[in-house]
Amino acid sequence: MYINTHQLKDQASVVIDETVDLSGMLNDVQEVLSIAPAHLRLKAVETARNTYRVDGSITTEMTYRCARCLSPFSRRVEIPFDEVYATEESLEDGDVNIFDGERIDLAPAVEQAVLLSIPLVPLCETSCRGLCPQCGTNLNVDTCGCERRAADPRWEALTRLFEQS
């Protein structure tokens, strides 16, 4: 995931078309169970002296755990990528990634873009009915005999106790 800026001295743009394994970065992300090899399709252009714009997309498939029913589900995602890289001395201001002028390491920004694409509350379906709070039955695939009444006041008191601790 590197771009050597020498290449951009004799070419108008450099195209990055590679498949990378990003699974290592997601070890600590509970919501994601796995990520397929990600396809980077990016184009780098020198927009000013020592300033490069890299844009395109990252395509992959991620398997999440549904926040309601806890079942794994997969989604194909296309994540837009648009970053500017500049050297410390170049005058570009704003949101830029600083690099040494020789070699751009795309990995940090690619990882960040993928992390930001993960939904806060992944749901297999927006209408997911989740699990029965009493017996744990997955209500998307089955029904159970539990009474679905408002929470028992005694339990509510307990819940409040737990929340306080």
Interface residue with Zn ion, options 69, 86, 106, 113 (CB under 5 A): 69
Interface residue with Zn ion, options 15, 48, 98, 135 (CB under 5 A): 135
Interface residue with Zn ion, options 32, 44, 66, 113 (CB under 5 A): 66
Count of residues that interact with Zn ion, criterion CB under 5 A: 11
Smallest gap from Cβ 27 to Zn ion, in A, equals 23
Measured torsion, CA atoms of residues 116, 51, 2, 31, in degrees rounded to the nearest 10:
0
Smallest gap from Cβ 165 to Zn ion, in A, equals 27
Smallest gap from Cβ 156 to Zn ion, in A, equals 18
Q: Is 39 exposed, middle or buried (0-12, 13-18, 19+ CB in 10 A)?
A: middle
45-73 burial, b at 16+ Cβ within 10 Å, e below that, comes to: ebeeebbbbbebebebebebebbbbeeeb
Interface residue with Zn ion, options 72, 146, 155, 158 (CB under 5 A): 146
Assign 71 to helix, strand or coil: coil
Interface residue with Zn ion, options 42, 52, 68, 79 (CB under 5 A): 68
Contact indicator for 113, 24 with CB cutoff of 8 Å = no
Q: Are strands 32-35 and 2-4 parallel, antiparallel or unpaired?
A: unpaired
Measure the CA–CA gap between 104 and 18, rounded to whole angstroms: 15
Of the pair 62, 69, the CB lying nearest Zn ion is at 69
Measure the CA–CA gap between 122 and 156, rounded to whole angstroms: 26
Interface residue with Zn ion, options 17, 134, 152, 155 (CB under 5 A): 134
Binding mask 99-128 for Zn ion (x = CB under 5 A): -------------------------x---x
- What does the binding site for Zn ion look like in residue numbers (CB under 5 A)? 66, 68-69, 124, 128, 132, 134-135, 137, 144, 146
